[in-house]
Chains A and B, each alone.
Chain A
């Protein structure tokens, strides 16, 4: 017969071979705890949600939260159309930190420029002469 013994802080379970073989008959309680999503049970925004991509923190975290909160509670039609000002401020802030909120196109351009600075002038043979 399997039994369980509490030894101080430890709970020790002795399982018979018979009980150990075969699948368990224990059923776990329904897990009400689904992983925290964007909206908390009380309706508030979960700023730690991975879906926000970290935008709620960082140099423009405050601006982001204000814009997003406005949008979330907006009842205008279309939704969020009354939030232009906080979004504009967020956008202005992010423009100041391209290294953080990198525009992919800008980065590509930066790389292209650097490549040209460090490489051969090449293409000389390809020049096409046309009457001026």
Chain B
């Protein structure tokens, strides 16, 4: 059975190659300008159906043999550099094992996030039993490929405006340019920073915003993307198609994308405004906590992801004097991950000297001389505290829409259709503030606050704003890192039972969240690529059944592409 070869022009150097199979010839490289070409392996070394990486020059290429087609792309995920070889190959794309990013195996284009860039694609050609790859030296070195952005054409006066500088906003503005839009692109962000990698805030609280910026200033300049930093939108008038900024200025739009994200909840209790009480929303919050924590009593309120990640960060390497965590459930992550997983994670934290106060709420914060001193629990007990970190939930940042006719539901989220358009034509909404139809929920509207979902929304909104009708189609995927352990989660939904596979005790497990007979979500630790596999399966509209995973707890590792 032959292998289809990609079409490429014959190179003068390769014509002189005799068909001697000596080892010395196998790795001979010919440099043609900025490209190199080399034999990377023999035809029989190619995977029958799958992926395999090979060295080439100073770098590596990933050869994919899928559905009879041979292609070569970069080996590393554009998000955090994970080895794509260890991911899931299905339906013409490879899904990264770490955080679920998805790349087309023929073109290397990014199809699902996180990560913003695509991976390089190289030419591959089989001749005389030898497999040759031609690659751009630059791409081979960086292993990332940023799509080219169009430049502003002053004749094009169409203005596409994005309110929000988070994941959805960032992804939207660059996608608009990458799709060739030449009109005006404006991003309005209330933070004084360029968009940054938000998931890192709670995991590495010391990182300053410039160190985690998603793109450089130069990038936005090259793309003629105007960014208005440190201003917020205070009003939107859809009849006039204008946005009034906090400075009083007005910005007009032809189409609008609202992606203002969440606003962290604070506890409206006595002492809640004391200086030592922090939320973790901005880099300033995180950096302030990190800078001040040494030798201090830190109390984290909230046992879901923000709180627990912050607690884990502070409880490592003596970053804080002591870390205590207060939660109103029996164990951390009780609702999101279940009490089995939650209990095991609590014990992981306790092994790192974190003290837990569960099943209790906070009544007030006490002070001495104006400085935070303690946290009073509803049980009456007081916990000493110099710093409090609140991780008690988030509400959509949509108050500024109150005076507009853009509808919001009773919790403040903005309902949209599968093209992310609100009921007002030309006004789109995505990210944490949107209530959008989810394929997994049979098209019912949900609100999801995952970084990956938001990036995808930015992309989808951009395509739709440009008239390339493109419905939402991604599978929710998120991850959390606690004491160096990465827990990966994919799927969505209320569950009525949890089946555990692997070994919870040794932190190498898969948890299957079941609703009736269907596995609606999966969480895994130390079991790659279970989550990527399941994300792929869900993407195809299929599910594992409760019976299947009960019979074999390792099922998610064994599912193959259909």
Write the residues of chain A forming the contact surface with B, with a CB cutoff of 8 angstroms.
59, 96-100, 106, 109-110, 112-114, 116-132
Q: How far is the CA of A109 from the CA of B212 in the complex (A)?
A: 22
Known: A120-B207, A124-B213. A98 touches B146 (CB 8 A): no
Cα–Cα distance between A56 and B502 once the two chains are bound (Å): 21
* In the assembled complex, B401 has its CB within 8 A of some CB on chain A: no
Say yes or no: is B117 at the interface (Cβ < 8 Å to chain A).
yes
**Contacting residue for B148 out of A59, A100, A129, CB 8 A:** A129
Question: Once bound together, how far apart are the Cα atoms of A128 and B144, in whole Å?
Answer: 7
The contact sample of 22 A-B pairs, CB cut-off 8 A, is A97-B506, A98-B506, A100-B506, A113-B80, A113-B98, A114-B481, A117-B481, A118-B200, A118-B203, A119-B204, A121-B214, A123-B142, A123-B144, A124-B216, A126-B141, A127-B144, A127-B219, A128-B136, A128-B139, A129-B145, A131-B148, A132-B147
CB neighbours of A119 from chain B (8 A): 204, 207
Given contacts A118-B200, A127-B117, 8 further A-B contacts (CB under 8 A): A96-B503, A97-B503, A98-B526, A116-B80, A117-B80, A117-B200, A119-B204, A120-B211
Minimum CB distance partner of A111 in chain B: B484
User: How far, in whole Å, are A99 and B509 apart by their CA atoms in the complex?
Assistant: 12
| Most chain B C-beta atoms within 10 Å of own C-beta, residue among A99, A109, A114, A118 | A118
Q: Which residue among A100, A106, A116 has the maximum number of chain B CB atoms within 10 Å of its CB?
A: A116
Contact pick for A127, options B142, B502, B507, B526, CB 8 Å: B142
Query: Is residue B197 contacting chain A, with contact meaning CB distance below 8 A?
Result: yes
**Given A113-B80, A116-B81, A128-B144, CB of A96 within 8 Å of CB of B214:** no
User: A110 CA to B526 CA in the complex, in Å?
Assistant: 9
Whether A124 contacts B200 in the complex (CB less than 8 A), given A96-B503, A130-B145, comes out as no
Docked Cα-Cα span, A110 to B487, in Å, equals 11
Residues 29-85 (chain B) with a chain A CB within 8 angstroms: 80-83
Quick one: closest A residue to B149, CB to CB?
Answer: A129
Residues of A within 8 A of B507 (CB): 99
A96 to B142, CA, bound (A): 36
User: Would A132 and B214 count as touching, CB distance under 8 A?
Assistant: no
**Nearest-neighbor residue (CB-CB) of A114 within chain B:** B484
5 tightest A-B CB contacts, nearest first? A116-B80, A120-B211, A118-B204, A132-B147, A127-B146
| Partner pick for B204 among A109, A117, A125, A129, CB 8 A cutoff | A117
Using CB atoms, name the residue of chain B closest to A120: B211
* B106 neighbours in A (Cβ, 8 Å): none
**Cα-based distance from A113 to B488 in the complex (angstroms):** 13
Residue numbers in B under 8 Å from A109 (CB-CB) = 82-83, 86
A112 to B77, CA, bound (A): 13
CA distance A128 to B200 in the complex (A): 24
Instruction: Report the separation of the CA atoms of residues A116 and B329 in the bound assembly, to the nearest whole angstrom.
Output: 32
Contact present for B508 and A128 (CB under 8 Å): no
Given A98-B526, A124-B213: A130 and B486 interface contact (C-beta under 8 Å): no
Inter-chain contacts of A99 with B (CB < 8 A) = 506-508, 526
Q: Which residues of B contact A59 (CB under 8 A)?
A: 506
Name the CB-closest residue of A to B120: A130
Q: Is B339 an interface residue (CB 8 A)?
A: no
A121: chain B residues within 8 A (beta carbon): 197, 211-214
Is the beta-carbon distance between B80 and A128 smaller than 8 angstroms?
no
Whole-angstrom distance from the CB of B299 to the nearest CB of chain A?
Answer: 23
In the complex, what distance in Å separates the CA atom of A117 from the CA atom of B139?
24
Residue of B with least CB distance to A127: B146
| Any A CB within 8 A of the CB of B545 | no
**Does B178 touch A at the CB level, under 8 Å?**
yes
Which A residues are CB-close (under 8 A) to B506? Answer: 59, 96-100
B197 / chain A contacts, CB cutoff of 8 Å: 121
Asked whether, in the complex, the Cβ of B80 is within 8 Å of the Cβ of A98, the reply is: no
Q: Smallest CB–CB gap between A95 and chain B, Å?
A: 8
Bound: A6/B96 CA distance, A: 79
Closest partner residue, chain B, to A122 (CB atom): B211
What's the Cα separation between A123 and B80 when bound, in Å? 11
Contact present for A130 and B98 (CB under 8 Å): no
Whether A126 and B142, one on each chain, are in contact in the complex, defined by CB atoms closer than 8 angstroms, is: yes
Instruction: Determine if B266 is an interface residue (Cβ-Cβ < 8 Å).
Output: no
Do residues B136 and A130 form an inter-chain contact, with CB atoms below 8 A? yes
Interface residues of B in 205-238 (CB under 8 A from A): 207, 211-216, 219
Nearest B residue (CB) for A131? B148
Question: Quick one: given A97-B508, A128-B145, A132-B148, are A113 and B204 in contact (CB under 8 Å)?
Answer: no
Is the pair A120, B508 in contact by a Cβ cutoff of 8 Å? no
Beta-carbon contact of B213 and A130 below 8 Å: no
Query: In whole angstroms, how far apart are the Cα atoms of A123 and B139 in the complex?
Result: 13
Closest chain B CB from A26 CB (angstroms): 55
- Tell whether, in the assembled complex, residue A98 and residue B481 are in contact, meaning their CB atoms are under 8 Å apart: no
Return B65 CB to nearest CB of chain A, in Å.
Answer: 23
Q: Contacts of A132 on B, CB cut-off 8 Å? A: 109, 147-148, 178
Interface membership of chain B positions 117-149, coded 1 if the CB is closer than 8 angstroms to chain A and 0 otherwise: 100100000000000000010110110111111
Chain A residues contacting B139 (CB-CB under 8 Å) are 128, 130
Contacts of B508 in A (CB 8 A): 96-99
In the bound complex, how far is the Cα of B120 from the Cα of A131, in angstroms?
11
Known contacts A97-B503, A98-B526, A132-B148, A120 near B212 by CB under 8 Å: yes
The 0/1 profile, CB within 8 Å of A marked 1, for residues 459-486 of chain B is: 0000000000000000000000100101
Of all chain B residues, the one with the shortest Cβ separation from A112 is B81
Please report the C-alpha to C-alpha distance between residue A46 and residue B506 in the assembled complex, in whole angstroms.
28
Question: A90 to chain B: closest CB distance in Å?
Answer: 16
CA distance A123 to B142 in the complex (A): 9
**B249 nearest CB across to chain A (Å):** 30
Nearest-CB residue, chain A, relative to B208: A120
Cα–Cα distance between A120 and B204 once the two chains are bound (Å): 10
**CB pair B204 A128 closer than 8 Å:** no
**Do B212 and A113 touch across chains, with their CB atoms under 8 A apart?**
no
**Which residues of chain B come closer than 8 Å to A124, judged between CB atoms?**
213, 215-216, 219
